[in-house]
Structure 1
């Protein structure tokens, strides 16, 4: 918890800032995440925040609701739940995974979807190097399960010499060179 909470907090705050900067006319723009336009991506982030808030309380897996435009507020609640030491204990009854694994899943979502949103809306984005390193290490271990569950797409070839963030994007199915 001690080393993950700052990474989760920074990645969440960075992504929330990107969401706040989206202009209404950008909601229909395409994103690097093929199944989402900007509005759908923000709605997905809202669901991620709600889901991980519930999971952090040892609660149920919840379904995605309609777009509300309140991701930053939801994300604050999620971080508050995960700031409690008991959120990190044991295994999630809803997901059957260790709570530390869920925290890493959340981190990957914040880091990668922050990039998706920034690319789609022309915003600057520089993820925290340690968050990228942790996300890449975790994803290397979980990529096959992620693909089986539909969370990751087919890999995009990225040179081994590429920056860590580009390699992370390639592993989960994003083209680091994507532009709108």
Structure 2
């Protein structure tokens, strides 16, 4: 793949559906649990997801995202509910197929499909992180993970490591696409998820 996929909005919609399943596992008592994202507990991850969803809502609505993105000025009182509400609103926009064809990100212009594909990758992988922090094993569907694996090879390079993603982990040729995707993004899908500990 040499550019963003034409089905970026569909990928984003699928990522939001996957995230919804992971969010169903979240309970307030779990917010202090560690996640596969080094140094983040579940509450920090939900706040990050909240900001990511806000940026995607700005992109699909106003057609612009400020860079650097400021996120929410105040942390929401109900981070679980805030993520659910924003994910639902974004899913509605995906279903409507409305929105701009290009998005201003700071002083750069990106195609809406590139923004959607980037959002899909981030939301799906963090959806997996959320489930793991809750002690659950929710593999990414193989066909979906395979599409995201292609997207990740275009969107993630060494400049993104270690700031946005951890260094890639080794994988085996016969690994499931979800395992390979997560390994490429520095996550060990074979690690035990029991009690959300890593």
TM over 0.5: yes
Task: Say whether residues 1:59 and 2:59 are aligned partners.
Answer: no
Q: Does 1:11 align with 2:23?
A: no
Among candidates 92, 99, 119, match of residue 87 of structure 1: 99
Higher share of residues assigned helix: 1
Consecutive unaligned residues of structure 1, counting only runs of 5 or more, are none
Aligned alpha-carbon RMSD (Å): 2.4
Q: 1:3 and 1:138, CA in 2 relative to 1: closer, same or farther beyond 3 A?
A: closer
Structure that is richer in strand per residue: 2
5+ long unaligned stretches in structure 2: none
Residues 174 and 124 of structure 1: is their aligned pair in 2 closer, same or farther, counting only changes over 3 Å? closer
TM-score, L = length of structure 2: 0.79
1:159 aligns with 2:172: yes
The verdict on how the C-alpha distance between 1:94 and 1:154 changes in structure 2, with shifts beyond 3 A counting, is: same
Q: Distance in 2 between matches of 1:81 and 1:145?
A: 32
Please state how far the C-alpha of 1:77 moved relative to its aligned partner: 1.6
Report the 3-state secondary structure (helix = DSSP H, G, I; strand = E; otherwise coil) of the residue aligned with 1:122.
Answer: coil
Cα deviations by residue, 1:49-76 (Å, 9 ceiling, x for unpaired): 1110101221223423214422111112
How far apart are residue 42 of structure 1 and its match? 1.1
Tell me: higher relative CO, structure 1 or 2? Use CA pairs within 8 A at least 6 residues apart: 2
Which residue of the other structure, out of 84, 102, 120, is the alignment partner of 1:72?
84
Are the equivalent residues in 1 in contact too, given 2:168–2:183 (CA < 8 A)?
yes
Once residues 20 and 85 of structure 1 are traced to their aligned partners in structure 2, the CA distance between those partners, rounded to angstroms, is: 26
Q: Cα offset for 1:40?
A: 0.9
Q: 1:112–1:169: 8 Å Cα contact kept in structure 2?
A: yes
TM-score normalised according to structure 1 size = 0.86
Contact map agreement 1:50 1:74 (CA 8 A) in 2: yes
